[in-house]
Amino acid sequence: MSLVELGATALLAELEAGRVSSVEAVRAYLERIDRYDGEIGAFLRVDRDGALAKAEEVDRRRRAGQAVGRLGGLPVAVKDILCARGELTTCGSRMLANFRPPYDATVVSRLQAADAVLIGRTNLDEFAMGGSTENSAFQKTRNPWDLERIPGGSSGGAAACVAADMAPLSIGTDTGGSIRQPAALCGITGLKPTYGRVSRFGLVAFASSLDQVGPLARDAQDTALLLEVIAGHDPRDSTSVDRPVPPYHQLVRQPLKGLSIGLVREHYAAGLEPEVEAAVREAARVFQSLGATVKEVSMPHSKYGVAAYYIIAPSEASSNLARYDGVHYGYRTDEQAMLAELAAEQALYQSAGTSAAEPDSPLVRLYRRTRSEGFGPEVKRRIMLGTYALSAGYYDAYYLKALKVRRLIRQDFDQAFAQVDMVAGPVTTAPAFKLGEKVNDPLAMYLVDLYTVSANLSGIAGLAFPCGFSRGLPIGLQLQGPPFAEERLLAACYMYQQVTDWHLRRPSLS
């Protein structure tokens, strides 16, 4: 078995035993990236020199008997939406194509403190807005199981690189399903932690009340390992919860006694592919065979989740992305061309009198051209949706009503968790669709988030992992639990993965 096939926990054991060096492991992954990423497009940038230098440092300390961090020499890929001091952080957008932050995100700092080898930055939908990783300003990412299909989004690069064995661990973000959905479509494990469990400091904001950083890995044990490193209170993030971090990597192996799981009645309706429903119900039977109690629960307001989400998230995006104006930082339009255009319009206005529209002021023109050129179509669409929902006369009708629906959805979860420990269901209605299939149909694209947005609206934890295949493509199962129930979700997943092999299957790359 090659080093890239080991997985994070097994590889870490080899490193700690001295049977493998970090340099050897990093080189193996770099060779894998060189060989396959040209066709997959998971990485925007690979830090070859920095990764090898860090690996050599970890190896020297280990040989000298010095203390090594929790991830001691393991390669980790990071979604290109988390700030890293002095390194390009683009968010997949032309707006930030040359942006180098002056500080590290807390998650990046914690990875560095744990002696992770940050091997590269992964592709994403622009500003994390999308479900297919087709909205990046720089490249499309392909699904390793079928290069004609999408890997999911917005953390498509983060999921694809793990699925293709180009990194054992990766960091993604989840605003409406952007960790769980690509994890499901790529056949790996991905966790959206409880809101406040992982610091958002240094995460470039999309929708601040929904965004959360989380791990992607092959299985529950590797996911727990990474979560243990990045979780914890951060005084620099006002939404961070001051709560001890459990030893997830140890707790994941503890069997759950008396586990009760709810199947949400409303999840099994028109639009769900029969193969996906069959795989999810079979997974429920596996849990029953392991001693769990499975019962049906109802979440009547879940059907309004997508509608509420696509008011709240764009509204927050409209506010957060107002800072990209061509003045403070980031992309700025060509001022000479802009001034020439403005002068021509002013001349026309003066010669035509009141029959021509009065030109913008130079500052307004600068804002308008910068934002028009710097943002892609999907980001513009969401900014306009959010601005409209927040505008005078529409705030109560849209945004305020969406917040009320959000509260009802959370109440549905609270009532369900009063009956069961966690709820189970599909992650998506179908396996990965083809590239370009939905890119011109925003409504169809938004409905991809049908089963995932409710966890973000409610702030609870959600975990996705493979439970079957359809037409050679992975099918994902989602477990959702109460706030700060990550250890129980991971333990349930670990139990399932001990008696099934879906998570062990790897795509065949030529």
Question: Whose CA is closest to 177, among 300, 306, 267, 264?
Answer: 306
Query: How confident is the model over 117-127, as a mean pLDDT?
Result: 98
Classify residue 61 as exposed, middle or buried by CB count within 10 Å of its CB (0-12, 13-18, 19+).
middle
Give tens-digit pLDDT for 258-312.
Answer: 999 999 999 998 889 999 999 999 999 999 999 999 999 999 999 999 999 999 9
Q: What is the mean pLDDT of the chain?
A: 96
Model confidence over 151-169: pLDDT tens digits?
A: 999 999 999 999 999 999 9
Q: What is the pLDDT of residues 434-465, one digit of tens each?
A: 999 999 999 899 999 999 999 999 999 999 99
Label the pairing between strands 169-173 and 213-217: antiparallel
Which amino acid, one-letter code, is at 189? T
Q: Look at residue 431 in the predicted model and tell me its pLDDT.
A: 98
pLDDT tens for each residue of 208-256: 999 999 999 999 999 999 999 999 999 999 999 999 999 999 999 998 9
pLDDT higher than threshold 70 for residue 353: no
Find, among 192, 193, 127, 120, the residue nearest to 154 by Cα.
127
Decide if pLDDT at 348 tops 90.
no
Mean pLDDT of 321-350: 91
CA 488/CA 494 separation, integer angstroms: 10
pLDDT of residue 125: 98
- Across 281-334, where does the E strand assignment appear? 293-297
CB 485 within 8 A of CB 491: no
DSSP 3-state of 461: strand
pLDDT of residue 345: 85
H or E stretch at 313: helix 305-320
pLDDT at 399: 96
Burial class (CB in 10 A: 0-12, 13-18, 19+), 138: middle
pLDDT of residue 323 exceeding 70: yes
Per-residue pLDDT for 356 more than 70?
A: no
Evaluate whether 7 touches 111 at the Cβ level (below 8 Å).
Answer: no
Instruction: Give the distance from CA 200 to its chain's centroid.
Output: 13
Asked if residue 216 lies in contact with residue 179, where contact means CB atoms within 8 angstroms, the answer is yes
CATH of the domain spanning 3-258+489-502: 3.90.1300.10
Give residue 73's pLDDT. 98
Read off the pLDDT of each residue in 384-412 and give the average, rounded to a whole number.
96
Residues whose CB falls within 8 Å of the CB of residue 64, separated by 6 or more in sequence, listed in order: none
260 burial (CB, 10 Å; 0-12 / 13-18 / 19+) is: middle
Tell me the catalytic residues.
79, 154, 178
pLDDT tens per residue, range 44-79: 999 999 999 999 999 999 999 999 999 999 999 999
Type of residue found at 25: A
> Are the CB atoms for 128 and 154 separated by under 8 Å?
yes
Tokens of 379: 């980001």
What number is the average pLDDT over the span 322-335?
94
Closest Cα partner for 12 from 220, 281, 287, 222?
222
Task: With cut-offs at 50, 70 and 90, classify the pLDDT of residue 510.
Answer: confident
Q: Which pair of structure tokens corresponds to residue 241?
A: 């919860």
Please calculate the CA angle 2-6-10 and round it to the nearest 5 degrees: 135
Q: How far apart are CA 379 and CA 179, in angstroms?
A: 19
Burial profile 121-135: b = 16 or more Cβ within 10 angstroms, e = fewer: bbbbbbbbbbbbbbb
Secondary structure (H, E, C), 204-224: CCCCCCCCCEEEEECCHHHHH
Q: What is the pLDDT of residue 355?
A: 63
Residue 310 tokens, joined? 């696509």
| Extended strands (E) in 265-372 | 293-297
CA distances from 420 to 262, 292, 427 (A): 6, 10, 19
Look-up of token digits 């529950």: 220
Residues 506 and 510: their CA atoms lie apart, in Å, by 13
Percent of the chain with pLDDT over 70: 99
DSSP state of 475: E
DSSP letter for 35, please. Answer: H
- Each domain of the chain, given as residue ranges in start order, spans 3-258+489-502, 333-373
- 34 DSSP 8-state letter: H
Tell me the CA end-to-end span of the chain in Å, nearest whole number: 18
pLDDT value at 150 more than 80 = yes
pTM of this prediction? 0.96
Once rounded to an integer, what is the mean pLDDT over residues 461-481?
98
